[in-house]
Structure 1
Amino acid sequence: MFRTELNPKPSSHKIQLSNPLISIGSCFADNIGKKLSQHKFKVEYNPFGIIFNPLSIFELIEMALDETRLPEDSYLVRDGIHLNYKVHSELYGKSKEQLESHINRQRNRLTKVLKKPTTIIVTLGTAWVYEEKKTQMLVANCHKTPASQFNKRLLSSEEISSAFMLLKEQLHTQNPELKFILTVSPIRHVKDTLELNMVSKSILRLACHQISTYADDVDYFPAYELLMDDLRDYRFYEKDMLHPNQLAQEYIWGKFMDVYFDKETKAFIKNWGEIRSAMKHKAFHPESDAHQKFLQKTIEKLEQLKGLVKVDKELVKLRKQLIG
C-alpha cells in the first residue's frame, strides 16, 4: 500500500436524476457541474462565472433569492468593456445595459431553481477577500483594477459560518426542502503565496466543519482532501501544477458518485457513459450496413431512456445519420 486512500462515507442525502442542482463557487464548482450536466442531471453551474470567496458566493445566491439587482457602483468600464465587480469577467457587455440584462437573466435562472427542492453544491476557493477602498464594497473580481484601490483581508471561519447560516435561514424561509453540500476547492492560490494559501484553505475547511457539524441538512464533501492527501502526487495535476488533471477529476467524480448516488443512479450513469461513447464513434464507412445497425441500436437505447432524461437532441443527431 503506497498511499492513504480516502473513502468518504455514503451520505444519507442521495441525489437523484430528477433532483434540480446548483453548483456554484470556485473552479471545482465548474468541474463537478460539467460532470453532472454531461450525465444528464438538471444542474445550473456557476451562472455568474467562477467566484472564489464565500461572501461573494452567498451574496449572489441572496440576490437570486430576493430577485434584486447588483448595486450601481459595482459596474465599471475596462478598455471599453463593461464589467461588474460582483461577477466574473466572462459576464461582460458593450454597454452597461447589455451587461445588466445578462446578469439579470443569469439571476433569473438561479431564482427559478432555488424555488424547487434543490441541492446546492457550494465550493469555497479562498478566504482572502478584496474590498474597494472608496466604497468599502466587497468584490468578487478586481477585473485588473490596480491593487492600490482595494483593501485585502482574511475572513475568519466564524465570519464565513455566520454568513452561511444566515443565508441558509433565508433560503429555508422560502424553500425548506433545500439541501447543501459544501466543499473546499483543491486548487491552490499561489498568488497569495503557498504559505498564505494554506492559511486560507484551513479557514475554509474549519468553516465547513463548523457548519456541517451544526446543520443536519449540510454535507461536507472532501474534494480538497482527495487531491491533497489521497492522490497527493503531481502526476494528477495539469502542467501548471495547480489544477487537477482529467485523471484526478475522474477519481474525485467517482468518489462523489459513491457518496451521493444510489445503485440505480450509478447504473444509469454507466449506461449513459456507454451511449455517449457510442455517439462519439466516427465511422470510416457511415453508409455501411454495420454502422447503420450500430446507429439503430444506439437509437433504441436512447428511446429507452426518454422517460428518465431528455434525449431529443441526441436522437435528432443520430437519426440524421440514418440512410433511407
Structure 2
Amino acid sequence: MKDIKLSTEVALDAPDWRINHHTKILTIGSCFAEVLGSQLDDYKFHVLNNPVGTVFNPLTICKILDSAVEEKRPNPALFLQNPDHIWLHHDFHSSQWAMGQASLDAQLSDKLDEMREFLAEADLLVITLGTAYAYRHRKTNLIVGNCHKLPGDRFVKELLHFDQITIAFEQLIQKLIPYNRKMRIMLTVSPVRHTRDTLPLNQVSKSTLRLVCHRLSEKYKHVGYFPSYEIMIDELRDYRFYKEDMIHPSSLAEQYIFNAFTQTYVEPDALKFMNEWASLRDSLAHRPLHGFTQGHLKMLKSLWSKLNALSRNVDVSAEMEEVERRIGEFPGM
C-alpha cells in the first residue's frame, strides 16, 4: 500500500557542527527567539536568552549587537518618560524600565556589557527576525525598536529595503568575525504572523527577511538558516497549531519546531541527556496523592541520586535543593 502523507515536510540539511551542553548560545530578536532560548534553557543548555527583551526589526537587532561589541551606550536622545512616570528607551523593549533616566541608562549599559562579555566566548548566536517593518522616530530621524504606545504622529512606519537590512548585517558580521572567530550565527524568520500589517503585507515583510537570510547564509560560511517559518506554514498548515489569537504558534507547534531544531543541531549524547532530563523533570513535578509515604520518600532519594550524578556535567543545584527540601519535610528527617 502506498504511503499517504498529510503534510509537506521541510527538508533540514545536516550541518557540519552540532551543539551540546558546553556550547554557549545567545539568542536575540523576536518573541520566537525567547521561546527557543527558554526551551534550550529548560534542557540545561548554556543560554543567554534575549537579554534586552523582544526586538522585532532587523536594524534595531544590528544596532543593539553593535552597541554591545563596540561598548556604545544607549542613545540619550531616545529616552522617554511615559504618563506613569516610568522611564523607557525607544531602542529597547518595555521590559527594560526604571524610575529614573540615570537608573535606566545604567541598567541598559549593564545589559550591553553582559552581552559583550558573553559574545566574546559564545559558540552560537541565534537571531530571529520578526518583521521588515520598522518605525522612524520623527524627532531624531532614527529607526527605533519600540514606540512604547506614544502617539502615532511621532513616528513614520517604513518597510525596510532588502539592501538596507543586508548592509547593516554585513557590517555587523564583519565586526563579529574578528571579535569571536569561533562563533557561528544562525538566522531564522519568526513563524509569528504580524497581521496588523495585513496578511498580504506580512508576506512581503517575511519574504524580505527570508531573502536577507538566504543571501547572508550564501555569502558567509559560518552563517546558517533554520526554517522555523517554513515548518510553521508548510508542515503545520492548520489553525489547530495556532493559539486562540490565530497569530502565535501553539505550545504544540513550538514543541514541534523545537524538536526539529534539536534533531538537526544537537549532538546525540546531548539528545540522550535531554530525554533523561525530561523524565527527571516529570518526577520533579510529581506531587504525592497520599502524603508522606515511604514509597514517595524512596522516590525522592532516588531522584536526588540521579540529579547528583548529572551535577558533574550540568548545573542542577536548584533542583537538588528542592528535592532536599521535600525530603526534609518528612517526619523524623
Q: What TM-score, normalized by structure 1, do the two folds share? A: 0.98
Kindly state the Cα deviation for residue 132 of structure 1 after the two structures are TM-superposed. 1.1
Local SS of the residue matching 2:121: coil
Paired residues of 1:115 and 1:174 also in contact (CA < 8 A): yes
Choose the corresponding residue for 1:43, options 43, 47, 56: 47
Choose the corresponding residue for 1:78, options 82, 96, 100: 82
Local SS of the residue matching 1:22: strand
Counterparts of 1:232 and 1:77 in 2: how far apart (Å)? 43
Q: Which amino acid aligns with 1:23?
A: T
Paired residues of 1:7 and 1:255 also in contact (CA < 8 A): no
Local SS of the residue matching 2:292: coil
Kindly state the Cα deviation for residue 117 of structure 1 after the two structures are TM-superposed. 3.6
Choose the corresponding residue for 2:195, options 190, 199, 207: 190
Q: 1:158 aligned to 2:163?
A: yes
Counterparts of 2:123 and 2:152 in 1: how far apart (Å)? 38
Paired residues of 2:135 and 2:145 also in contact (CA < 8 A): yes
Q: Which amino acid aligns with 2:269?
A: E
Map 1:132-211; keep pairs closer than 5 Å.
132-211=137-216
Q: 1:297 aligned to 2:302?
A: yes
Q: Which amino acid aligns with 2:67?
A: M
Choose the corresponding residue for 1:65, options 54, 60, 69: 69
Counterparts of 1:164 and 1:101 in 2: how far apart (Å)? 27
Q: Which amino acid aligns with 2:303?
A: T
Local SS of the residue matching 1:138: strand
Kindly state the Cα deviation for residue 274 of structure 1 after the two structures are TM-superposed. 0.6
Counterparts of 1:42 and 1:117 in 2: how far apart (Å)? 10
Paired residues of 2:185 and 2:224 also in contact (CA < 8 A): yes
CA deviation profile, 1:171-224 (whole Å, cap 9, x unmatched): 122211111000000111111111111100000000000001111101100000
CA deviation profile, 1:21-55 (whole Å, cap 9, x unmatched): 11100011011010011010111111111000001
Counterparts of 1:286 and 1:208 in 2: how far apart (Å)? 55
Counterparts of 2:71 and 2:24 in 1: how far apart (Å)? 19
Counterparts of 1:15 and 1:122 in 2: how far apart (Å)? 16
Q: Which runs of 5+ in 2 are unaligned?
A: none
Q: CA RMSD in A?
A: 1.1
The aligned residue for residue 112 of structure 2 is 107
The aligned residue for residue 267 of structure 1 is 272
Local SS of the residue matching 1:309: coil
Paired residues of 2:26 and 2:122 also in contact (CA < 8 A): no
- The 4+ residue runs of structure 1 with deviation greater than 6 A are none
Counterparts of 1:57 and 1:226 in 2: how far apart (Å)? 23
The aligned residue for residue 277 of structure 1 is 282
Counterparts of 1:91 and 1:190 in 2: how far apart (Å)? 25
CA deviation profile, 1:102-126 (whole Å, cap 9, x unmatched): 2122212211211104200000000
Same amino acid, percent of matched pairs: 36
Paired residues of 1:10 and 1:258 also in contact (CA < 8 A): no
Local SS of the residue matching 1:43: strand
CA deviation profile, 1:213-262 (whole Å, cap 9, x unmatched): 11110110000000011111000000000000111011000000011012
Paired residues of 1:124 and 1:183 also in contact (CA < 8 A): yes
Local SS of the residue matching 1:321: helix
Local SS of the residue matching 1:129: strand
Local SS of the residue matching 1:21: strand
Of 102-111 and 247-256, the range deviating more from structure 2: 102-111
Kindly state the Cα deviation for residue 283 of structure 1 after the two structures are TM-superposed. 0.9
Counterparts of 1:149 and 1:63 in 2: how far apart (Å)? 25
The aligned residue for residue 212 of structure 1 is 217
Counterparts of 1:302 and 1:160 in 2: how far apart (Å)? 46
Local SS of the residue matching 2:186: strand
Local SS of the residue matching 1:303: helix
Q: Which amino acid aligns with 2:100?
A: S
The aligned residue for residue 136 of structure 2 is 131
Counterparts of 2:140 and 2:166 in 1: how far apart (Å)? 25
The aligned residue for residue 13 of structure 1 is 17
Kindly state the Cα deviation for residue 57 of structure 1 after the two structures are TM-superposed. 0.5
Local SS of the residue matching 1:278: helix
Of 217-226 and 41-50, the range deviating more from structure 2: 41-50
Counterparts of 1:49 and 1:156 in 2: how far apart (Å)? 24
Local SS of the residue matching 2:253: helix
